[in-house]
Structures are given as C-alpha cells and as structure tokens.
C-alpha cells in the first residue's frame, strides 16, 4: 500500500484529531503537543503526517503536496479551492457569524465595511445577499474593529460567544456551522483511491 500524506492543522483541534486517528488504527507514537517536529509517521507507515498552519492545510491539499488534510471548515471556505470534503470530524465546533454593535443595521442602502480574518467568506456571504461591502482583512482581535469605528460589522468565528459579549458586540446574523473536516485532493483520490477509501472507512467507523 502506498503511504498517504496527511496535512494536519496545528492548533486547538490537533490533539483531538490525533486521538481520532489513533482510535482508527493510525498511531503516531512520537507525536506530542510540545514537539517541534513537523513530520510524523504512524507505526505502520500508512500515513505520513505533516503538521502545518491551519490556514495552509487547504493549500497543501489543493496543490497535491498532501493527499488529504484535516482542517477547519472556516479555512476551507476561505481558501476557495476545489477539493473533496468527505468527513466531518466534529472537532472544534463553532460558527461563522456577522457581529456588530447592538444598534448596527444591515441594509442595502449603504456600503457596509466588514472587518474579518476571512475576507473571501465575508464578501461571498454579503454578495449573495446583494449587499455591497468593503472588506478589511485583519489577522486577529477582529472584535475591536466596530468598537473603534474601523468597520461597521465583523465576520468571525463564534464559539462560546464570550469574546463578542465581553466587547459589547452582538450577533447580527448566524452564517454557517464550522467544524473540522477531512479534505481530499481530487487527483490523489483518483490515483490512490483504495488507500484513501480505507483511511476514510476506518475514520468513519470510530466517528459513528
């Protein structure tokens, strides 16, 4: 069997993903959270795991540098790449939402300024609603933008709602549920069908 390269997102969901892989029979014995290593093999050498920035996982898979990937739906949507999304690992559950100050209105009469770590997601969402937006790309602390008058609203991830609440913002619209997904490069799926199907089957059996 050919070894499959899996790009795994660093960060909050990595430990959970490694645990699911272990239950599915893929044990990465030398993986531990504090390791600085970026490449790992499972004990049976079926999977070569590369540990990459969450936002880059869809790119590795899209370019075929990884056959499959485990990444958040947020980063998959933002990357706008053409791949198969075949499993929901149900880790890191949260949602995309539009948030702003409590009196903020969203209508078609003005151009709305939207700050987000996810400008493509934000643009696409408002475009579908026929609302013209100016997007400002930020890399974090997005909740600040409406408070200091830099943007009318934000598009960001909401998990507990604490960040929004503690900054006096409110959810204006819920957009889309987010969780960790298994993605597959289309060419890899055609050429390494058997290997990838087997990994998916094993993962499915422990996710049920």
Residue ranges binding ligand PRP (CB under 6 A): 140-143, 156-163
Closest to ligand PRP by CB, 47 or 158: 158
Q: What CA–CA distance (Å, rounded) separates 171 from 154?
A: 10
Whole-number Å distance between alpha carbons of 102 and 70: 36
- The distance of closest approach from Cβ of residue 141 to ligand PRP in the complex, given in angstroms and rounded to an integer, is 4
C-beta of 145 vs 157, nearer to ligand PRP: 157
Q: Return the number of the residue (89 or 145) whose C-beta is nearest ligand PRP.
A: 145
Q: How far is the CB of 12 from ligand PRP (least distance, A)?
A: 8
Nearest distance from C-beta of residue 94 to ligand PRP, angstroms? 7
Query: If we measure between CA atoms, which residue out of 13, 171, 26 comes closest to residue 95?
Result: 171
* Long-range contact pairs involving 102-107 (C-beta distance under 8 Å, separation at least 24): 102/168, 102/169, 102/170, 104/146, 104/152, 104/153, 104/172, 106/131, 106/153, 106/172, 106/173, 107/131
Compare residues 42 and 143 and give the one whose CB is closer to ligand PRP: 143
Least distance to ligand PRP from the beta carbon of 137, Å? 13
Q: Which residue is nearest to ligand PRP (CB)?
A: 140
């Amino acid at each position: 069997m050919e070894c499959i390269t899996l790009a795994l997102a660093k960060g909050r969901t990595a430990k959970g993903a490694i645990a699911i892989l272990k239950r599915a029979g893929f044990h990465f014995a030398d993986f531990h959270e504090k390791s600085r290593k970026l490449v790992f093999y499972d004990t049976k050498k079926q999977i070569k795991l590369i540990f990459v920035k969450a936002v880059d996982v869809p790119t590795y898979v899209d370019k075929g540098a990884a056959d499959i990937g485990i990444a958040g739906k947020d980063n998959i949507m933002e990357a706008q790449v053409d791949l198969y999304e075949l499993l929901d690992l149900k880790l890191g559950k949260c949602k995309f939402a539009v948030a702003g100050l409590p009196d903020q209105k969203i209508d078609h009469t003005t151009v709305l300024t939207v700050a987000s770590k996810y400008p493509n997601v934000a643009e696409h969402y408002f475009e579908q609603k026929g609302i013209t937006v100016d997007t400002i790309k930020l890399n974090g602390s997005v909740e600040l933008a409406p408070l200091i008058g830099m943007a009318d609203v934000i598009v960001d991830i909401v998990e507990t709602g604490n960040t929004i609440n503690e900054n006096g913002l409110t959810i204006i619209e819920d957009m889309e549920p987010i969780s960790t997904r298994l993605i597959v490069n289309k060419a890899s799926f055609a050429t390494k069908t058997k290997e990838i199907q087997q990994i998916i089957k094993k993962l499915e059996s422990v996710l049920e």
